[in-house]
Structure 1
Amino acid sequence: MAGSRVDLKVVLLGKEFGGKTSLVERYLHDRFHGDVPYQNTIGAAFGAKKVETSRKTITMGIWDTAGSERYEAMSRIYYRGARAAIVCYDLTDISSFERTRFWVQELKTNEEHCKIYLCGTKFDLVENNKRARQVDYHMTTDFADEIHAEVIETSSKTGYHIKDLFQKIAEDFVDDPSNLEIREPNTLNLDEKHSPKFFCCR
C-alpha cells in the first residue's frame, strides 16, 4: 500500500434516497445494485480514485454524506475543506430538488470556495416516461445560473453521464489557478494495483 495525498476533496450532499451512494458506487466500482435497497449512509462513506486530466493526474477523495435530516449537523464535518460539491436530487421527486437550496446555502455560508454541481439522478426513470419527471431541466438551469453552478443529469443504472460528471469536476479543479497549492492534509493509503475501496464510517 502506497501513501498518497488527496488533491481534490469532493463531497456529495442531498436528501436521503436521492441517489448519492449509487452514483459513487457506479463511478468508483462501475456497479449498480438494482432493486436491492441501500442501507442509509450513517455519517459519511469515503472512497478515492486517481483521475487523469488534461494537465496532470490527481487523486480525488469522495465523501458520500448521510441525507437524513438528523445527520445534517454531522455533514458539516465532512464537507469542510471540500473544493467541489455534488448536490444530488432525484428527478422523480420534486421535494429532493427543493432541498438542494438548503445544501447550497450551507455551502455558500461555510465553504465559499467550494464549486457546486447540481446533479439530477435516476435519469433512466424519466428518459422514456415524461410523467415520471417531477424536476424540470429548465428549473434546474435557472437555479444554477442564480448560484453560479453546473447542472448535469445522470443515471447510476446505465452509467449515463457519471464519468463525465467527475471528469468535469477534476478538469475544473486543475484549471483553477487558486487550487494549485491546495492539498488535503490527510494522507491516504491507495493501492494502485486494485480498484479503489469504498469505506463506510459507522
Structure 2
Amino acid sequence: MQNQILSPVLILSAGHTMSSQRVDAKVVLLGKEHVGKTSLVERYVHKRFQIGPYQNTIGAAFVAKPIQVGEKVLTLGIWDTAGAERYEAMSRIYYRGACAAIVCYDLTDSGSFSRLKFWVKELQNCEQQCKIYLCGTKSDLVEANRSFRQVDYHDAQDYAEEVEAELFETSSKTGRNIDELFQKVAEDFYNSTAFQVMTEERELDQHQRKGCCHH
C-alpha cells in the first residue's frame, strides 16, 4: 500500500493494529474518490498542497494530530478512508466508534454530493453518536470561476440543517476553512458528554494505579 500522508506520528493501513499512543477523539473522513480527502488531511497536518493527483488510498491512512482546545491539548486520530465503492465495506470498519465524521464532496461535482448523502445515511443508521460535518472541497476553483460550481451553497446548508450537521466549504490549495473545520471538531468533542466520561475514567484509572503503587 502506498499513501501520501506522511505522518510525524504513524501511518496505518488496513490490517495493521494501532500503536499504544493515546488518541482522544477518533475522526473519520468519508466521501467519493477524488473529492480531495487526502489533500485535506495533508493541508491540515503538514500545511502543504501537492499539485497533481494523489495515488488512491487503499483501505485507510491514519494520522494523529494534537490540537489545542482551551487549556487542554487533545489528540485527534484522523482516518482518511478510500473513496472507491469497492472499498465501502472496509470503510465501515474505520468509522466504527468514531466521535466525528467529516463527509466530503467536491463543489465542482454534483455526483459527489449525491454520494455524500449515502454516507450520511450510513452514519445515521450505524453510528448515531457520531457527529457529522459536511465538507465541500475545492472552493478555490469555484472562486476563480463561478461556472465551475455544481453544488449550491444554500442547498448544501439546507441539507446540513436537515441532518443536524455542520457545513464548511474548504480549499486544500489555499487552506481556507481547514483549520477552522478541525478546530470545530475538537471543540465539539471537548464539550461533549463523551469527553467528560472519558476524562473521569482516566482520572479514576490514574487514581487506582497510584493506589496500587502505594501498597
The two structures share one fold, judged by TM-score above 0.5: yes
SS in 2 for 1:163: helix
What is the CA–CA distance in structure 2 between the aligned matches of 1:106 and 1:182, rounded to whole Å?
Answer: 25
Deviation, 1:57, is 1.0
Q: 1:12-41 deviations in whole A, cap 9, x for unaligned?
A: 00000011000001001111101x210000
1:75 and 2:91 correspond = yes
What's the % identity of the aligned pairs? Answer: 65
What is the CA–CA distance in structure 2 between the aligned matches of 1:173 and 1:105, rounded to whole Å?
Answer: 21
| Paired position in structure 2 for 1:63 | 79
Give, as a single letter, the amino acid of the residue that structure 1 aligns with 2:32.
K
Instruction: Give the TM-score, by structure 2 length.
Output: 0.82
Computing the radius of gyration from Cα coordinates, the structure with the larger value is 2
SS in 1 for 2:63: strand
Q: 1:128-165 deviations in whole A, cap 9, x for unaligned?
A: 31100000000111001110000000000011111010
Give, as a single letter, the amino acid of the residue that structure 2 aligns with 1:22.
S
1:131 and 2:147 correspond = yes
Change (3 A) 1:55 1:105: farther
Deviation, 1:56, is 1.5
Give, as a single letter, the amino acid of the residue that structure 2 aligns with 1:113.
Q
1:10 and 2:47 correspond = no
| Paired position in structure 1 for 2:191 | 175
Deviation, 1:168, is 0.6
What is the CA–CA distance in structure 2 between the aligned matches of 1:59 and 1:178, rounded to whole Å?
Answer: 15
Gaps of 5+ in 1: 184-202
1:151 and 2:167 correspond = yes
Instruction: Give the TM-score, by structure 1 length.
Output: 0.87
Moved over 3 A (4+): 1-4
User: RMSD in angstroms over aligned alpha carbons?
Assistant: 1.5
Deviation, 1:55, is 4.6
Gaps of 5+ in 2: 1-8, 10-18, 200-215
Q: Which structure carries more strand by proportion? A: 1
| Paired position in structure 2 for 1:193 | none
